[in-house]
Structure 1
Amino acid sequence: MSGTVCLWLRRDLSTRFTSIRAARSERLRFFNPFHLFRQDMNWLEHEPLSADVVVVGGGGAGLRAAYEAAAQGASTILVLKGRLTRSGATAFGVAELAGFSVPDGAVDPLDSPDVHFADIMRVGQGCNDERLVRILVDEAISAAHDLERWGIQFVMDPNTGKPLVAMGDFASRPRNRKIYHHGKPITEVLAQEIAKLGVVVLEHNAVLGLLKSDAGIEGVLCADENGVVREVRAGATVLATGGAGQLFERSLMPPDITGDGYAWGYRNGAKLVNMEFMQAGFGTVRPSLNIVLPWYWALLPRFTDRDGQDILDGVLPPDVEAAHAMKTKVKHYPFSTSDASRWLEIAAKRAIDEQRVPDSGSFLLDLRNVDQTLLPPGGDLSVMWPISKDWMKRKRMDVDAQPLEIGLFGHSINGGMVINDDCETTVPNLLAVGETAGGPYGADRLGGNMLLTCQVFGRRAGRRAAELGMSRRGLALRTERPELRHLALGGGSEDVREVKRRVRAAMSQHVLIIRSAKSLDSASQELGAIRESVLADRFRIDTPAQAVEMNEAWNLLDVGEIMVAAASIRRETRGSHFRSDFPQTDSEWDCPVQVELRGDRPNARKAPFAPR
């Protein structure tokens, strides 16, 4: 393949099969000895593709891994559900600005990689992998230089003419460079770079599961929306599928972030860590989706239900004032029990549980007539506030004219698969990167670290995958396809979309923000009942799109059970994990929780990271 040509395999790839499907559907119907699919569906199998490396996921981490693998000379295939630069979490336009942590002391000479390291370990509260954190901070500056070399434009401070550097969530020093339109510019520039290296890109292909042999993982099985199934065989497989934001009824993640990588790794023996820790917080409900960024709270807006009743009334402890909770919230977006800002999300969740708000579960955040002198002139907040207002106007939300309608949203997962320094999981030939991997974060996560993590560990994952994949060239191994018993059914009458809806309802009611033994037990029972309803063949699968929908729902079921298992065993409150029945932090839990599959259930246990 030419080194300057990128092969794009889009949704129209399978149109050449249309006449074949009509004339020879019986003979070409997809079939395998394990009866993975309903046998009356016209699945068609395409010839397998082979490469040294296959990367699943087209966000910042996946693109960086694909770039690095190809740059090392490895033949590389990138598989993603949607379109490049338009799908996945990195390119999702959920915020006007994204942060990228660079501990170079550009604004604060007291900042350094060592200070950055101390910040991450402090907010991780004993649950980080120290070695991975050290790698992250030591390679952060070079990762930023890579972005600048590729032409990424950081937001400039009009007062200094230099890049704007802000304080990130939970940070002790300002080190957050800002990028317009979240991380989309990163995906756009990396898409150009992988094209130059000849990476094969399969768009609109949903991975159904992993291929495996006695030697480990051997690639993936994927299907497009027209029912064309193919194996992508590779010496090394990199999962960069993001988190599981779609576990919740409201999510600040795009629809394709359904916990796929977690579920595939879990079923194939991978260990997962810190899955009870997640980011949740406020976002706008309508007319458009957007994060309620932390500096909004610096203006002390009114926070009420539709009847004008203050959401915080009767919830705050006697020693906490509303203004203090809001000013503390300026320090970080996500919910955290580490300070008084916790009462904002706790009050909102209690109002929902007590049915004090409409069925939509929304509140009003009124920024009209706020005192803008609360934003220090010349500071980073005063620079970012007009950018935020302009962005919101473009999304049909004028904060000067009407209150924002906001709700509680699930967002990122702080955990993932256990990895080593080069992103290898506990399963041979399987690597994980970005939000799919665990270890760099713990109970809370510094703002600006996720885009950074995707670049630092994407580089490491791609290089190690290339080395591993090229070393395994020519091996003739007998591979097995994944067990997909949930797709062998589909003869029922209920809408397959109901599976996701029920999972989200259970997780939102029982696991989001406020947790207890009672709520977690309810979540476990409801998720188990949903799984039984799928296996009882109650849902209808007639099309490839419905099969993919069911596969995503099945992945969410697994990830929901993993999260519930981890949250149940952690009988304390720490960071983003709030147990109303164990409201204090317990030093006995200054360590991560690992989860792995035992039989057909998740097994959770304390498991400190091994010293390296």
Structure 2
Amino acid sequence: MRFQTITTDILVIGGGLAALKATHSASESGMEVLVVSKGTICSGSSFYPLMEALGCQAPTEDPEDNIRLLEEIRESSFQMHDEELTKIYIDEIRDRVAELPAMGIPYRKMQGGRIPCFAKRARDIFIWEDWNAIRNKSYALLKAKDNVRLMEHCTVIDTILHDDHIAGALCIDRQGSLFVISCRSMILATGGFGDLFEHNLNPSDVCGHGHILALDAGAKLVNMEFIQFIPGFMTPRYKVLFSEQILGYCTQVNDAEGRDLLARYLPSSITSRQCLDERSKHGPYTSSDISRYFDIAMMKEINDTGCEKGFNLSYDPKLLEDKREFISIYVDWIRKEQHIDLLGTKHTIAPLAQASNGGIVIDVRCATGVNGLYAAGEVAGSLHGADRHGGNASGSCLVFGHRSGAYASQWAKSCDRQAINTSIARKALTERFEHHRPNRIDADELIKEIRHLMWYHANVVRNERDLVYAKDRIRQLYEDFNPATHMSNPKTIGMAVKADHAARLSMILLECMLLRKESRGPHYREDYPEKNDRSYARRLMVQSTADKDIEYRFT
């Protein structure tokens, strides 16, 4: 087993918007920056190709709106957000948006504004689009920096610590070449974990490996049970984002047999029109208003029938007459780019995993509590709380990507780089996994089983029976999988590590869902359908103990 050695000052792990912003920020220090991405640079959920655009919200230029926005985020977070980080976001987002062109991302302000998901007032919405042009320009700008190097299609296997601070990482590329990277500081910008669910709105590299890297290094996770599910197309174009705004024109939601789906699940006091109008106000599912019956109906029908083909929608033709930008642009995009005529093409949707509102605990410096280790973007979970305002995910990539780069640079300047010889790397790799276990299942099969179990049993409808079943089943599968048997073959290491991380993180998610015996935001327990502030107005922290057990604690 041979390792190539690479040295750098700051190691950025990730390829999406937060990684790009962190890299630009860190490079301004003049120190060497190495970016390692599982896929290509300019990838991840922030460059997801099957959505028409990305954007973020910002307070208006009225100073009083900062206060109003803070109050609205408090309300939608259901006391699960971080107050300091929220204030920083509000104070700094406009400055970070103004820096987008320097990253190769032109933007524009949405005409007329709109009320973001879970917000109460219309605000400034800044939009960027044309993914191919953005990728080309952003990539060229990074390549032009003398102190920035890029390693694409490379998976980080593990971090290396020395005297309780980050010293480097072990990596493998898609050819099976092994690398040991020595660094002074490290930024995790690896995104969320949507691909742990069989049907999702993420690229396949958004699988939560950054969360496990952080946990193993000694960092904490928080709010892991709060996961956003958004309706997405199942047919005719799989995994295309569905825009909730058009539900205001939806006249019927039918199952595969043409029967009215909502009628079977709505309480008698709520009409289909009321449910659909409320659902049109936010993309992500929430249990906090009557729109919940729309998503619950879909998922319960899927669970009862085992049919994953989705549900067919019909619309009022007036949809095509609506010239508001956030309606007309989507309707035109989905017709021209995705070849879906909403009025003429039969199409089906289902609840797809889209984003995680929880992740690694960070402070105002994006520090994780492990010296030299920083995190930003969707992998960092302290900011949002239960329900997240629309646009705040991409905005937080900018605000905290910038901060992570700046503070990681400060740390790197203050410490010496620890030399890591190949014997240390080899020892770390061989000791990473338990050897005395059978290997009765392939890595690919383990991942496939996990994704199926998570989508069915940890979707928008949760209960103790299903969660316990999924967790026990994944544990059984994991006990039949031994990553150590793959370590001698560099060509199988990457997939083995992905399977190991997927199994461990999925069991953590399921345990968090079990422990929160209430419904709050996107976490809906049909066996505990009400919010319970007396017992659960606290955030659930996850950390690894000295014995490598997982500890869960409400704080």
TM over 0.5: yes
Deviation digits for residues 7-59 of structure 1, max 9, x if unmatched? xxxxxxxxxxxxxxxxxxxxxxx1xxxxxxxxxxxxx422x111110000010
> Which amino acid is 1:418 matched to?
V
SS in 2 for 1:55: strand
SS in 2 for 1:571: coil
SS in 2 for 1:407: strand
> Which amino acid is 1:50 matched to?
T
Aligned pair partner of 1:578 in 524, 529, 535: 524
Aligned pair partner of 2:390 in 432, 437, 447: 447
Deviation digits for residues 144-202 of structure 1, max 9, x if unmatched? 11125656443566xxxxx4522211111222525354877665554343333321001
Partner of 1:606: 554
Q: CA RMSD in A?
A: 2.6
Once residues 190 and 122 of structure 1 are traced to their aligned partners in structure 2, the CA distance between those partners, rounded to angstroms, is 36
Deviation digits for residues 400-422 of structure 1, max 9, x if unmatched? 32122222211111011111111
Judged with a 3 Å threshold, the aligned counterparts in structure 2 of structure 1 residues 154 and 490 are, in CA distance, closer, same or farther, namely farther
Deviation at 1:495, TM superposition (A): 4.1
Work out whether 1:511 is the aligned partner of 2:458. yes
Deviation at 1:546, TM superposition (A): 3.6
Partner of 1:346: 296
SS in 2 for 1:174: coil
Which one is further off, 60-69 or 384-393?
A: 384-393
Partner of 1:145: 98
Partner of 1:18: none
Judged with a 3 Å threshold, the aligned counterparts in structure 2 of structure 1 residues 583 and 189 are, in CA distance, closer, same or farther, namely same
Judged with a 3 Å threshold, the aligned counterparts in structure 2 of structure 1 residues 167 and 256 are, in CA distance, closer, same or farther, namely same
Aligned pair partner of 1:497 in 444, 463, 466: 444
Deviation digits for residues 464-508 of structure 1, max 9, x if unmatched? 111111221355578663566559799967543111111112211
Deviation at 1:71, TM superposition (A): 0.7
Partner of 1:370: 317
8 Å CA contact retained: 2:182, 2:420: no
Partner of 2:482: 535
> Which amino acid is 1:270 matched to?
A
Once residues 184 and 167 of structure 1 are traced to their aligned partners in structure 2, the CA distance between those partners, rounded to angstroms, is 28
Once residues 549 and 453 of structure 2 are traced to their aligned partners in structure 1, the CA distance between those partners, rounded to angstroms, is 18
Partner of 1:234: 183
Partner of 1:283: 232
Deviation digits for residues 245-276 of structure 1, max 9, x if unmatched? 01111010100111011011112221100001
SS in 2 for 1:220: strand
Partner of 1:215: 164
Aligned pair partner of 2:277 in 327, 330, 335: 327
SS in 1 for 2:47: coil
Partner of 2:127: 179
Partner of 1:68: 25
> Which amino acid is 1:196 matched to?
A
8 Å CA contact retained: 1:206, 1:224: yes
Work out whether 1:259 is the aligned partner of 2:208. yes
Once residues 338 and 282 of structure 2 are traced to their aligned partners in structure 1, the CA distance between those partners, rounded to angstroms, is 23
Partner of 1:306: 256
Matches within 5 A, 1:22-421: 30=1, 44-46=2-4, 48-85=5-42, 87-105=43-61, 112-148=65-101, 152-155=105-108, 163=111, 165-181=113-129, 188-198=136-146, 199-288=148-237, 289-355=239-305, 358=307, 360-367=308-315, 369-372=316-319, 379-381=324-326, 384-421=327-364
SS in 2 for 1:396: coil
> Which amino acid is 1:499 matched to?
L
**How many percent of aligned residue pairs carry the same amino acid?**
27
8 Å CA contact retained: 1:219, 1:231: yes
Once residues 128 and 119 of structure 2 are traced to their aligned partners in structure 1, the CA distance between those partners, rounded to angstroms, is 21
Once residues 536 and 452 of structure 1 are traced to their aligned partners in structure 2, the CA distance between those partners, rounded to angstroms, is 37
SS in 2 for 1:515: coil
Q: Which structure 2 residue ranges, 5 or more long, are not aligned?
A: none
Once residues 299 and 587 of structure 1 are traced to their aligned partners in structure 2, the CA distance between those partners, rounded to angstroms, is 36
Partner of 1:16: none
Judged with a 3 Å threshold, the aligned counterparts in structure 2 of structure 1 residues 73 and 164 are, in CA distance, closer, same or farther, namely farther
Work out whether 1:587 is the aligned partner of 2:533. yes
Matches within 5 A, 1:406-485: 406-476=349-419, 481-482=428-429
For the pair shown, which has the larger CA radius of gyration, 1 or 2?
1
Q: Which structure 1 residue ranges, 5 or more long, are not aligned?
A: 1-29, 31-43, 158-162, 608-612
Once residues 429 and 76 of structure 2 are traced to their aligned partners in structure 1, the CA distance between those partners, rounded to angstroms, is 38
Once residues 521 and 430 of structure 2 are traced to their aligned partners in structure 1, the CA distance between those partners, rounded to angstroms, is 37
Once residues 182 and 327 of structure 1 are traced to their aligned partners in structure 2, the CA distance between those partners, rounded to angstroms, is 30
> Which amino acid is 2:452 matched to?
A
Deviation at 1:104, TM superposition (A): 2.2
Which one is further off, 582-591 or 390-399?
A: 390-399
> Which amino acid is 1:547 matched to?
I
| TM superposition score normalised by structure 2 | 0.92
Work out whether 1:547 is the aligned partner of 2:493. yes
Judged with a 3 Å threshold, the aligned counterparts in structure 2 of structure 1 residues 180 and 464 are, in CA distance, closer, same or farther, namely closer
> Which amino acid is 2:482 matched to?
L
Which one is further off, 75-84 or 516-525?
A: 516-525
8 Å CA contact retained: 1:183, 1:451: no
> Which amino acid is 1:92 matched to?
Y
SS in 2 for 1:208: strand
8 Å CA contact retained: 2:109, 2:124: no
8 Å CA contact retained: 2:117, 2:282: yes
Bigger proportion of residues as helix: 2
Deviation at 1:550, TM superposition (A): 2.1
Deviation digits for residues 439-469 of structure 1, max 9, x if unmatched? 1111110000111100100110001111111
Which one is further off, 478-487 or 512-521?
A: 478-487
8 Å CA contact retained: 1:64, 1:455: yes
Which one is further off, 397-406 or 587-596?
A: 397-406
SS in 2 for 1:313: helix
Deviation at 1:216, TM superposition (A): 1.8
Judged with a 3 Å threshold, the aligned counterparts in structure 2 of structure 1 residues 340 and 284 are, in CA distance, closer, same or farther, namely same
8 Å CA contact retained: 1:96, 1:180: no
8 Å CA contact retained: 1:593, 1:605: yes
SS in 2 for 1:585: coil
